[in-house]
Amino acid sequence: MKTKFLLIGVIVVSAIFISSHKENKNIDLLLENIDAYAGSDEHGDIDETLVPYSKLGEKTIYCILDGKMLSTKIPCCKPDPSKFSGCAKGLDNC
C-alpha cells in the first residue's frame, strides 16, 4: 500500500515539474519571438524623443508648509535593463 502511495506521489511531483518546465519554455519562446519581431528593420530603434534603457517612474518631492512636511509626486525617468524601454527626454531622473 505504501509503495503505491509513494509511486502516486512520484508521478504527481514529476508531472508538476515537467509541466512547469514546459510552461517556462513556452514563455521563453514567446519572448524570443517578441525580441526577434522588435529587432527587425521595421521595429528596430526606439523613438528619438525617448531615452533608451529607461522607463517612466515617479518621484516624491517634499516641502514644508504650515509646519508640516507635505509631499507630492511627479513623473521621472528611471533606468531599466530592457533595450525596448524608453522614457521622455525632458523628464528629470528619478
Partner 1 sequence: MRNVSIKILLFIGALTILSCSSRNNHLEHNNFIQIDLSCRKSQFPLSSFIYDIYAIKLELPTPYFFGVITDVLFTDSTLFVVDKKQGNVFRFKKDGTFLNRIGNRGGGPGEFLSLYNFFIGNQYVFISDLNIRQIHCYTHDGEYVKSISSTFELVYDDIAALPNGKFLCHDIQGHKNESKIWLMNEKGDKEKTLLFHENNYPYSYTDWNTISTTMDNKLNILDPISGIFYLYDIEKNELAQTLHLVSEEKDLSAFRNVETLSEIKDKYAYLSFIINTDNYLYSIWSTSDNIAVCSLYEKGKKNVEVFEMPKMDFPDYSICPIPVSTNLPNAMVAIMTDEYPLEYFPKQYRDGISEQVAVVYVMKFK
Q: Which chain residues interact with partner 1 by CB under 8 A?
A: 2-3, 6-7, 9-10, 13-14, 17, 51-54, 57-60, 62-64, 67-73, 76, 78-81, 83, 92-94
**Secondary structure E strands in the chain:** 50-52, 54-65, 68-79, 86-88
Tell me how far, at minimum, the Cβ of 3 lies from partner 1, in Å. 5
Considering beta carbons, is residue 17 or 37 the nearer one to partner 1? Answer: 17
In whole angstroms, give the CA distance from residue 31 to residue 84: 12
Tell me how far, at minimum, the Cβ of 18 lies from partner 1, in Å. 12
Nearest to 56 by CA among 22, 23, 90, 28: 90
Considering beta carbons, is residue 40 or 72 the nearer one to partner 1? Answer: 72
Distances in Å between the alpha carbon of 37 and those of 40, 43, 48, 84? 5, 7, 19, 12
Tell me how far, at minimum, the Cβ of 84 lies from partner 1, in Å. 11
